[in-house]
Structure 1
Amino acid sequence: MGRLPAMLARGTLRGTGGRAPVRGFGGSPRSRSAMPSWVIDRYGRNEVLRFTREMAFPAIQFPNEVVVQVHAASLNPIDLSMRSGYGATALNMKRDPLKIKSTETEFPLTLGRDVSGVVMECGLSVSYFKPGDEVSFKPKCLSHTEAASLPYVGLTAWSAINKVGGLNQSNCSGKRVLILGASGGVGTFAVQLVKAWGAHVTAVCSHDASALMKKLGADDVIDYKSGNLEEQLKPLPLFDFILDNVGGSTEKWALNLLKKWSGATYVTLVTPFLINMDKLGVADGMLQTGVTIGSKTVKHLLKGVHYRWAFFMPSGPSLDEIAELVDSGKIQPVIDQVFPFSEVPKAFLKLEEGHARGKTVINVVDKK
């Protein structure tokens, strides 16, 4: 948790120095030349995951980079999608924006977005961290396993609710917030965040997650399996803000549940941005995306509501604020299941089953 200038190693499921080490694997980036890692050599389903002990330790290439020994890592739905090739165009553009090395490949590719661990080495311009710091200033009340479950979902929810949706601690009190897909990683965090800011929260999930939603602070819980969801929500007072983690048909009717001409906002995390780039290429994909979001924004403005897309946004200051909420007891990690590093493929299969109650986490070292 906290402010991290750059995570040097690529991906999450790697060993000491870059990412997740196996039990008992010690040493430093300077004392070893290889580390254990889970990688993929091609896109596909779970069978493409491969364990290797031969991944090279990362070397600091820029002065603002750090090397981290990872104690725990967590999986997100985007890792499943990337395993199958989602976002490959954007990934390669980021890796080689000028196409100077266009003959090279992104493989072997290490998946993963979240880690909690300890800084091992710092670049010359890094002043915010020093070796031995728990990255990134992990809340002291959390284990590494718990802390690894928060950064990606926390910053994704923060992006949608605060950066894009405009809600904050000062203006959220008393607002009616609807969260679709409330029992997943982003949803469980979002419920707690807006509740900490004083909102009235309506959470949509399946019946078996109702008790969890109440525990996290939801005022109303709607079981989407008990009947037509739109019809269940229509009798409720209109909402000031909707966070949609589901997408699909929900977009066709959910905006009708917002208060009109009052600044009410619908934010969806299900967007075609990377899909458009994968299908159409960078230029045409970005153009198509711009046309789509522009037309939908104007269409809904004319109806008196705001329509927005949101994405994960890295932000050290936001992580610091999240850490403060965790330390104060207003936000707690929600973990569905923990797997050892040797069972990474099983963790992917668990995530692929869907209907998770919070996060799937990889425990990388013995100590919690």
Structure 2
Amino acid sequence: MLVRRALRCAARPGGQRPPVRGLRGSPRARTAMPSWVIDQYGRNEVLRFTRDMVFPVIHYPNEVIVKVHAASLNPIDLSMRSGYGATALNMKRDPLKIKSMDTEFPLTLGRDVSGVIMECGLSVSYFKPGDEVSFKPKCLSHVEAASLPYVGLTAWSAINQVGGLNQSNCSGKRVLILGASGGVGTFAVQLVKAWGAHVTAVCSHDADALMRKLGADDVIDYKTGNLEQQLKALPSFDFILDNVGGSTEKWALGLLKKWSGATYVTLVTPFLINMDKLGVADGMLQTGVTIGSKTVKHLLKGVHYRWAFFMPSGPSLDEIAQLVDSGKIQPVIQQVFPFSEVPKAFLKLEEGHARGKTVIDVVNKK
């Protein structure tokens, strides 16, 4: 399986590469490749294996083609299999108009990959054929590396770009992670701990040992007693990352320190749902009204309310790779499936109560 990716290709500090003067890459053995696709939105039965997917080609000078060695699944892949975000997806495919629903099929799902660059566009200077992208931490296998990009960049977006925490200002802050045992949660616990925070992780009892291994100072079992009351018994927090949403938003902001710059960031937003239901313009308008009213409401109470989501960023991936290579962050993988068992991997993810990531080993057939 291969993918075409538009990456940040300008040379960056710490990893400058000689410019690629033309299209370079390994010779192609064939023009088709195996892939798992969907031809309609639905449940797991819509997944279809084919050996006849058209081999990708480079259309723009800042693109590369990556031979995928491993890929991981995320909860959003389950949602997108059922049609979540279809409006935004089609708009991205054609900026001038939203295409009719039958034009995106066959559709290949997935957000995370680890692999090796095969070909580079004319303007790509930061990568060359043969590079393990993007760049893969040297200490990790492709299976391990594939578990990190989406959850890592989502957590980085929420904590750093939206929440404002970083290595220089996080030390000693009290951080609460709701839904700490999933892919984003396990990464977030390690990230803020690496930056010196005091971390309280909320999960079920069977994830207690994992949370403490990752560095959590306090672990709260949400199944034991009233979670809100358990957390209110603790000192107030400087930062909350909410991976759960729902009813937690009604009381979680009350756990923050007032008038101190304390921030609540939720990853559960109605942005794509609004676009799917209302269309692009009305969906964006409704989303703006909602976040604006909530921001003002909580600001008057002395705390900050924010939404966050995945944000692609080459420089952030480089920083994450440095944290991994230094031993401060490790991949957390619940189960690995061979490429032939992609539907089983989706079913595993559907079970919920994740303890890290579900990964597909594309190269090894076992």
Question: Same fold, TM exceeding 0.5?
Answer: yes
Report the CA distance between 1:227 and its aligned residue.
1.2
Query: Against the structure 1 CA distance between its residues 20 and 356, is the aligned structure 2 distance closer, same or farther, given a 3 Å change threshold?
Result: farther
**Whole-angstrom distance in 1 between the partners of 2:23 and 2:160:** 40
Query: Against the structure 1 CA distance between its residues 15 and 159, is the aligned structure 2 distance closer, same or farther, given a 3 Å change threshold?
Result: closer
Contact 2:2–2:55 (Cα < 8 Å) also in 1: no
Query: Aligned with 1:203: secondary structure?
Result: strand
**TM-score by structure 2 length?**
0.93
Aligned residue for 2:246?
248
From 10, 23, 26, the equivalent of 2:24 is 26
Query: Against the structure 1 CA distance between its residues 24 and 110, is the aligned structure 2 distance closer, same or farther, given a 3 Å change threshold?
Result: farther
Query: Against the structure 1 CA distance between its residues 19 and 55, is the aligned structure 2 distance closer, same or farther, given a 3 Å change threshold?
Result: farther
Query: Aligned with 2:305: secondary structure?
Result: strand
CA shift digits 1:91-148 (9 cap, x unpaired): 0000011128658610000000000000001001101011100011111100000000
- Superposed, which structure 2 residues align to 1:340-359 within 5 Å? 340-359=338-357
**Whole-angstrom distance in 1 between the partners of 2:13 and 2:361:** 12
Query: Against the structure 1 CA distance between its residues 351 and 337, is the aligned structure 2 distance closer, same or farther, given a 3 Å change threshold?
Result: same
**TM-score by structure 1 length?**
0.92
Unaligned runs of 5+ residues in structure 2 are: none
Which moves more between the two structures, 134-143 or 190-199?
Answer: 134-143
Report the CA distance between 1:365 and its aligned residue.
1.0
Query: Aligned with 1:43: secondary structure?
Result: coil
**Whole-angstrom distance in 2 between the partners of 1:78 and 1:42:** 17
Contact 2:24–2:119 (Cα < 8 Å) also in 1: no
Contact 1:21–1:365 (Cα < 8 Å) also in 2: no
Report the CA distance between 1:12 and its aligned residue.
14
Report the CA distance between 1:366 and its aligned residue.
2.4
**Whole-angstrom distance in 1 between the partners of 2:330 and 2:303:** 32
Report the CA distance between 1:27 and its aligned residue.
11
Aligned pairs, number: 362
Indicate the percent of aligned positions where both proteins have the same amino acid. Answer: 90
Contact 2:333–2:355 (Cα < 8 Å) also in 1: yes
Unaligned runs of 5+ residues in structure 1 are: 1-6
Root-mean-square deviation (CA, aligned residues, Å) is 5.4
Aligned residue for 2:318?
320
**Whole-angstrom distance in 1 between the partners of 2:39 and 2:46:** 7
Which moves more between the two structures, 314-323 or 358-367?
Answer: 358-367
Which moves more between the two structures, 149-158 or 131-140?
Answer: 131-140
Query: Against the structure 1 CA distance between its residues 47 and 8, is the aligned structure 2 distance closer, same or farther, given a 3 Å change threshold?
Result: closer
Contact 2:338–2:361 (Cα < 8 Å) also in 1: yes
Contact 1:15–1:35 (Cα < 8 Å) also in 2: no
Contact 1:266–1:308 (Cα < 8 Å) also in 2: yes
Is residue 269 from structure 1 mapped to residue 270 from structure 2 by the alignment? Answer: no
Report the CA distance between 1:284 and its aligned residue.
0.4
Query: Against the structure 1 CA distance between its residues 347 and 20, is the aligned structure 2 distance closer, same or farther, given a 3 Å change threshold?
Result: farther
Report the CA distance between 1:225 and its aligned residue.
0.4
**Whole-angstrom distance in 1 between the partners of 2:298 and 2:119:** 50
Query: Aligned with 1:104: secondary structure?
Result: helix
CA shift digits 1:263-309 (9 cap, x unpaired): 00000000000000000000000000000000000000000000000
Aligned residue for 2:170?
172
**Whole-angstrom distance in 1 between the partners of 2:54 and 2:177:** 43
Aligned residue for 1:218?
216
